[in-house]
Amino acid sequence: MEDVMKEFAQLATDRPAELRRLKQQGKKVVAYIGHFVPEELLYAAGVEPYLICRGGEPEPPEAVLDDMLRFLNPLARSIAGFHLMGLDPVMPLADLIVASQPECHIQRIAELLEHKGLPVFKVGVPPNWDKAYAGEYYFRELEQLKDRLQELTGNAIADEKLREYIGYSNDINRALRKIDELRKRDSPPLGGYDFIHLNHHSFFTEPEVAVEKLHQVFAALEHAPARFPKNAPRILLAGHAVAVGDYLVVKNLEDSGALIATEMLDEGIRWYRWDTAVEGDPLRNLWRVRYLDKVPVNIFQPAWRDRFEHMRTLIGDYRIDGVVWYQLAYDEIYDMECTVIAKWLRDLKVPLLKLETSYEYSREATGPLNTKIESFVESLRRGR
Amino acid sequence: MASTIYEEYLELGAYEGKERQRLLPQWIEAATRLGLTEKDMEFAVREWIPDMWDLKYLGIRKMIGAITREAIDHAHLMEHKKRGVKLVYGIIPAILTPYQAIKKAGGDKIFVSFPDMCLMNFLQPLFHKGAPLFELAEQAGLTYGCRHCALNKLRIGLRLKDVVPAPDIQWSFGLVCDEATKVDEFINCMYDDQWFAVITRLPHDTCLGEVDDEIPERVEYLAGAFKDAYEEVQRVTGIQVKEEHLAAASDDFQRYLGKTDVLTRLVGEADPQMLRGSELNNFCHPFSMPFNTGIEYMEDALDTMIEEVRREVANGTGDYPKGAPKIAAFFIPYAVPWVDKVFMDNGVATSFSLGMIPSEKQLIPPSHDDVYLNVAEQWLRMVFGMGCHTEVKTWIEKVNRVKVDGLLLGFFDYDRWIGQIHKLGAKEVEKATGVPTFYIEADFFDDRDYSQEALRTRIESISQVIKMRKAAREQGAVGQRGAA
């Protein structure tokens, strides 16, 4: 299992170098921000996609403060910050940066990227998803993205090609679901730390290869020995995102003896529970699965009752003992949702721990953080 | 002669005779409901208002009276609801014409209000006492550390305190920030499942080089969204808005706009200047909130103020020394009026607020026959409705037009949309105009995070730079400096 994980991780690590090489060979590189940008469309266009979702370092969020305020969440600030610090290996060579625009943090950061001279294409996502006209807005944005990609490459995006990549995405989802299912065991062979890594690796690997690697991982895990004891408190990790590189809290939770049995995150993890229909208009299918079929993201309105219903299902399915709400600092809408969720979880008598990160993981910051985590895990253990 | 501190307050708000006596019991009741004690009243009447407001002008006193009248009405929202009056709420920023039109159509059968804005404009500038309601919301889950908007906290606090009941419908323009509309969902989920809102949203997704109001699909989309929401408001309230109501609301708006423009120009161009920028902004409330009691009281205050300012200009008198430098701001923080008082103490006059000066584009008549298309176009020409690159261009245009000695940006650090470009914009404006531009990280509504003492040094330093620079310019030697 470890060998397969290492291989998979290496492929993801090598992706920027590969992109540089491909770019020299004349391929177009398209960086993208947010899951409302369908990577299937990018692959079908023949460009090389690269998800920008790196976080977990304290300096990049600070790097934007000459132009922006600290009250944007650290993930949004990191997206521009890594670039401003010269640490983003892909953004400078990107022919296009496609940024989904569901909320203000990323909307302002996209403007900053434009201001810094980067080629940004925005995909607007109206949050009032209960209105048919709002959904059509997002669909038109996808059509415009399709046009822009065709213009960039000079090639038409064939429906068949798009269906092929939808098929790959569905295969990735299926593989992830099989792996995820293993976490329902009393003593599972993997936890959230590994599962989130698998998600991240899959973003930076060609889809065919990602499917193959995930199947190998599953094969290795299916009969692997348990990694977590039977009595490990089972955690649902919820919030905005666990960004690529932001693993400290996830690791510390599991190092403290808990098992992250499942996640409810809007970004940084695939929306693997929802497959895209293959038959019919593929662009419409990509639209539908993101905008209508999937449990709404936090910014959608209304969303929180639906999201809590989903959380409640997860709590039942994964036999969750406690919820950890992992919040990005200054993420005001998630902060509000946390209050609402806390109220409803109290009614269910499910304990909640809210952890907030500004990606400042100094010794001074991690000490109290670990104490909080350990106390919570201990309290869950006693409560079982 | 006023016999109690409550009556003294009304006297200060230019209420006299029988009207004052009639209003007094309602006023005492309203003050109590809003958490204002006799001690607060003493503080407002004896210290805060005389210190922060130029009470020698009857126009100012009438304006205080008009704001108070509206606050009293709001403190009795529960009674209105019990009587079966339909409640329609909104939030800032919004185009007000549709709200005012439904009031014109519904008369006493409808209460149209932006309750948070109305009571913020009352509690903070006149009593400096928004904090207990902000704290109520913080205790209820809008955590202090996350930097939520004070206006949204006030909305939650007012609901929790049972001052503001659930509306029949809240139409929220969610066209600027994300938080305001989500507060509707928050209240609905946490406290009041009768809190019903229809939201209008449009992603901020224009790209560099695109101008929002020049993209026909964008204008049409927004017009359609407005129409959809407005029809829902009319369906829920059962009040049909006709062309004549919209026209009358629009006339009110244009007339008031014309008068505030007169006042702003008179004050901004006067030397010596009378009034501070925060006082000027308070006359502009009819652009940011509907007045359920009608705008005639504010308009009367405005007419009086214009006459008084004209007299001062004719006499060559004012409140600042002649030749005092003038500074504009994105919005002069009227809810925290001590800020521009400190500028005044340092000999710098706050005058124009960029948000209150129409851009050249806004002065162009609407280009459509359809009312919704025109409202959409109007919105997209406002700074709130456009992307940052176009917005900064309009700031530059306005700064060049008003010829001030300095520009102050900031005070919106909590707003993930409006506040975020002020640092970047400060540099761009200064580069393009040569006008020294300063950025202060602070809050427009809630000053608990920063004290007069903390800002005093910063303002002293800004004032010094502006004065030195003005002196240098007058001597023909203008230096350059970076945005601070």
- Other CB atoms within 10 A of residue A46 CB: 16
What residues in chain A have per-residue pLDDT under 50? Answer: none
Contact predicate B219/B380, CB 8 Å: yes
Cα separation of B386 and A361, whole Å?
Answer: 37
Please indicate whether, in this complex, the C-beta atoms of A108 and B417 are within 8 angstroms of each other: yes
Q: How far is B479 from chain A (nearest CA, A)?
A: 23
Contact predicate A346/A317, CB 8 Å: no
pTM check: above 0.90? yes
- Other CB atoms within 10 A of residue B475 CB: 8
Please indicate whether, in this complex, the C-beta atoms of B207 and A66 are within 8 angstroms of each other: no
Q: Coil, helix or strand for B162?
A: coil
Contact predicate A97/A120, CB 8 Å: yes
Contact predicate B386/B308, CB 8 Å: no
What residues in chain B have per-residue pLDDT under 70? Answer: 477-484
Please indicate whether, in this complex, the C-beta atoms of B441 and A329 are within 8 angstroms of each other: no
- Which of A336, A341, A344 should one mutate to test binding to chain B, selecting the residue with the greatest count of B CBs within 10 A? A336
Q: Coil, helix or strand for A203?
A: helix
Q: What is the pLDDT of residue B477?
A: 60
What is the ipTM for the molecules in this complex? Answer: 0.97
Q: Coil, helix or strand for B446?
A: coil
Among B448, B434, B273, B413, CA closest to B330 = B413
Q: What is the pLDDT of residue B451?
A: 84
Taking only the tens place, the pLDDT of each residue in B392-418 is 999 999 999 998 999 999 999 999 999
B107: left (phi over 0), alpha (psi -120 to 50) or beta: left
Q: At what angle do helices A159-182 and A192-203 cross, to 10 degrees?
A: 170
Ordered DSSP codes for B76-112:
THHHHHHTT-EEEEE-SS---HHHHHHHHHHGGGEEE
Q: Which of A121, A305, A356 is opposite residue B189, by nearest beta carbon?
A: A305
Please give the sequence-ordered ranges of beta strands (E in DSSP) within chain A, or none if there are none. 29-33, 48-51, 96-101, 120-124, 234-241, 259-267, 322-328, 352-357
CB-based contact, B215 to chain A, within 8 Å: no
Cα separation of B289 and B94, whole Å?
Answer: 8
CB-based contact, A67 to chain B, within 8 Å: yes
Where would I find the H helices in B107-215?
115-127, 131-139, 150-160, 179-190
- Decide the pairing of beta strands A48-51 and A96-101: unpaired
Cα separation of A59 and A82, whole Å?
Answer: 8
Cα dihedral angle (B50, B55, B56, B60), rounded to 10 degrees?
A: 160
State the residue for tokens 């009207």.
B19
Q: Which own/partner contact pairs does B19-26 have at CB distance under 8 Å and 24+ positions apart?
A: B23/B69, B23/B72, B26/B72, B26/B76
Cα separation of B58 and A112, whole Å?
Answer: 47
Please give the backbone phi and psi of residue A262, each rounded to the nearest 5 degrees, phi first.
-165, 170
CB-based contact, A309 to chain B, within 8 Å: no
Please indicate whether, in this complex, the C-beta atoms of A141 and B205 are within 8 angstroms of each other: yes
> Which chain B residues are Cβ-neighbours of A356 within 8 angstroms?
145
Cα separation of B298 and B280, whole Å?
Answer: 12
> Which chain A residues are Cβ-neighbours of B230 within 8 angstroms?
none
Taking only the tens place, the pLDDT of each residue in B41-78 is 999 999 999 999 999 999 999 999 999 999 999 999 99
Q: Which of B142, B185, B228 is opposite residue A131, by nearest beta carbon?
A: B228
Q: How far is A298 from chain B (nearest CA, A)?
A: 10
> Which chain B residues are Cβ-neighbours of A305 within 8 angstroms?
189
> How many helices and strands (H and E) does chain A possess?
14, 8
Q: What is the pLDDT of residue B478?
A: 55
**Strands across the sheet containing B86-90:** B110-113, B86-90, B169-174, B197-201
CB-based contact, A112 to chain B, within 8 Å: yes
Ordered DSSP codes for B223-287:
HHHHHHHHHHHHHHHT----HHHHHHHHHHHHHHHHHHHHHHHHHHH-SS--S-HHHHHHTTGGG
Contact predicate B219/B376, CB 8 Å: yes
Query: Nearest-5° angle of CA A347, CA A350, CA A355?
Result: 115
B-proximal residues of A, 172-211, CB under 8 Å: none
Please indicate whether, in this complex, the C-beta atoms of A68 and B423 are within 8 angstroms of each other: yes
Contact predicate A359/A78, CB 8 Å: yes
Q: How far is B179 from chain A (nearest CA, A)?
A: 6
Cα separation of B67 and B297, whole Å?
Answer: 9
